[in-house]
Structure 1
Amino acid sequence: MSAPPLHLAVELDGVPFADLPAAVAAAEATGFALVTLADSPLPPASGERIEAGVLAAYLARRTSRIGLAPALPVTITEPFHLATQLASLDHASAGRAAWVVAAPNGADELATVGRAPLDAAGLRREAEDVIRVARLLWDSWEDDAIIRDVASGRFLDADRVHHVNFEGATFSVAGPLITTRPPQGQVVVIVPHALGLDAFADVVLVEDPSDVVEAGPLVFAEVRSYPARLDDLAGAVHGIRLHPQSLEELTAVITQAPGRPVAGPTLRDTLGLRRPVNTFALQEA
């Protein structure tokens, strides 16, 4: 039996803003599952950068099927605002949001928010804490919290909106979120294998397809050289993330890649990931 076709993702870092909608539209038409948008707290050489979450929101209303995955940093972004931004992206895209967990830890990067670099254990703990609290905040509104009962004048059931009361190593969050639960229940969380947090991911990014990943998440291999033998990875991983180095290379990759029809309507549906049951609803059951 042949291996199932690979899910395709492409990193669009470096694509000029004016060319971005056309590039994403081409990837969507080819059957790519998602696009990722890198970011950095430091300005690029050109002196111009639009924050990845803002770019994803811009693309949300200009696409209809493809997933949108900005890289948002756990070390320099307030966790409550990070979770809110991603939940809002999921609403704006009707269930196509993902999050590439970024963990910049250089002295110059951390200086932008007045922090010092963390040691390896501290960085891992920080990333774990932010992922944990984001997942709790996305669940802080149960699916049926909104009532909209005009006759009774009730808009929501307050018993189904929850404080998360999370205590991390360097921060605390009371909650609840200021937006309702994301359409996917949980935004798709994409974590680089190097962070050592496979157990908290929906998708793990590996540099080497032979890397051992904890059971559970999907595994996407990073492909950085072209032409790539994508068929060689079928069966070894669930998907690949391509890293074209120029707009011309991106165009060639998109037109030559073996497209996989996007199942939809949400990114979780496309990737074959279940919609999680709400944590607080489980506690009440």
Structure 2
Amino acid sequence: MSTSSPRQAGFLAIELDGAGWAGADIARAVLAAESAGFHAATFTDAPVPGRANALQRAAFAGPVSRTIALVPEVDTVYTEPFHVSTQLASLDYVAGGRAGWIATAAESPEAAAAVGRSSVAGAALGQEAAASIEVSRRLWDSWEDDAVIRDVATGRYIDVDKLHHVDFETPAGFAGAGYSVKGPSIIPRPLQGQLPVLVPAFLLGVVSPDAVDGVLVSAPAAELLTAEIRDVRARVGASVAVVAELDVVLDARGQAAAGRVAGIDSGRAVYAGSAAGLTDFLTELLKEADGVRLHPASLAVDLEELGRLVLPELRRRGALRPVVQDGTLRDLLGLQRPVSRYATATAAHAAAAPPALESKGKP
């Protein structure tokens, strides 16, 4: 979606799904991850009754954190694209420009039942994801950056000429129920202009690399990760961040990792062993990947070890890029802030129009 700067040292994200559901638990985990030096915290979602969803947990973490990026998983199949877009834009404001989006599309009869829809499977999952991402990106651009004018003299809060219809229609051959989105958004343009969007690698068959800023790469075993990373890199090019997924179980508190690894069945690569061994593994992995998303077996145990032993040594080796101070997730990823597609169209329209007409380009 955006042009990236040249490759630099890597970044680390940590999954905080095990932090608990209470606000105090979320705040404690986010602050611990930030203090440890992680660049981003991610939040897995699932249709669990009575539980705050990933977006809500990320939004709660926004005001209590300062540097760590907040990146929730948000489903693209059983959620309305317009609402996803506006909620993510709101998150970017709450987080001060540190928000991102992991756009997921998984076959889930439970999620379908929760919203009263038929289950979606196969190629239709990718189509739903691609459509939702496109809708969100258009809506984020539907307010130009200077649309909010707060003109007290005229009583105008916005310049309506700088709000635009997005006119999205699902394409021909769309496998699911077709829909349209007119727009504009009900939220001003996000602080970052466009939130960075990441998708799992399996969606790349339908979702274009040009539509995303990052790809999450999984493998069934740690020794297979490098080959998967190289394969995805060849498909997406250098301008899209490639992020490896890794479950982590560390020797800690006198207990060997082997004693805690038996319960892990995520399908992701697993590292189980010493902090020193993980540091060596990540040092090599970050030569191939732009970043790594760690899934600790136990936040209460593994996060402490990561912050105490692993991240400091990775920084000493120069394997990690600096934490962004007073910046955005786009800054961390080396992405420029994009110009709204509609602002470009407006400027072009105005330039082509006779000067006397002072055309601003209607939506």
TM-score range, shorter-chain basis?
Answer: over 0.9
Q: Does 1:283 align with 2:345?
A: yes
Aligned residue in 1 for 2:286: 234
Cα contact 2:77–2:120 (8 A) shared by 1: no
Q: Does 1:11 align with 2:15?
A: yes
Q: Between 250-259 and 5-14, report the one with greater CA deviation.
A: 250-259
**Residue identity opposite 1:6 in structure 2:** G
Q: Between 87-96 and 17-26, report the one with greater CA deviation.
A: 17-26
Q: Which of 18, 24, 34 does residue 40 from structure 2 map onto?
A: 34
Aligned residue in 1 for 2:323: 262
Cα contact 1:33–1:271 (8 A) shared by 2: no
Cα contact 1:185–1:278 (8 A) shared by 2: yes
Find runs of 4+ consecutive structure 1 residues off by over 4 angstroms.
none
Aligned length: 279
**Residue identity opposite 1:262 in structure 2:** V
Aligned residue in 2 for 1:251: 304
Structure with higher helix content: 2
Q: Does 1:173 align with 2:181?
A: yes
* Aligned-partner SS, 1:148: strand
How big is each residue's C-alpha offset from its partner over 1:190-233, in whole Å with a ceiling of 9 and x where there is no partner? 11111113332111111132332312211111112244310011
Separation in 2 of the partners of 1:137 and 1:251? 40
Aligned residue in 1 for 2:212: 201
Separation in 2 of the partners of 1:72 and 1:7? 22
**Residue identity opposite 1:190 in structure 2:** L
Aligned residue in 2 for 1:223: 246
1:61 Cα deviation after fit: 0.4
Cα contact 1:4–1:234 (8 A) shared by 2: no
Q: Does 1:192 align with 2:200?
A: yes
How big is each residue's C-alpha offset from its partner over 1:113-158, in whole Å with a ceiling of 9 and x where there is no partner? 2222224221111110000000000001000111112233332211
* Aligned-partner SS, 2:19: coil
Aligned-residue CA RMSD (Å): 1.7
Q: Between 240-249 and 14-23, report the one with greater CA deviation.
A: 14-23
Separation in 2 of the partners of 1:139 and 1:20? 31
1:48 Cα deviation after fit: 4.9
1:181 Cα deviation after fit: 0.1
Cα contact 1:91–1:182 (8 A) shared by 2: yes
Q: Which of 223, 232, 253 does residue 212 from structure 1 map onto?
A: 232
Cα contact 2:37–2:307 (8 A) shared by 1: no
**Residue identity opposite 1:24 in structure 2:** V
1:111 Cα deviation after fit: 1.7
**Residue identity opposite 1:212 in structure 2:** V
- Structure 2 gap ranges (5+): 1-6, 219-224, 248-270, 316-320, 349-363
Map residues 76-87 of structure 1 onto 2, 5 A cutoff: 76-87=78-89
Q: Does 1:132 align with 2:162?
A: no
- Structure 1 gap ranges (5+): none
Cα contact 2:96–2:191 (8 A) shared by 1: yes
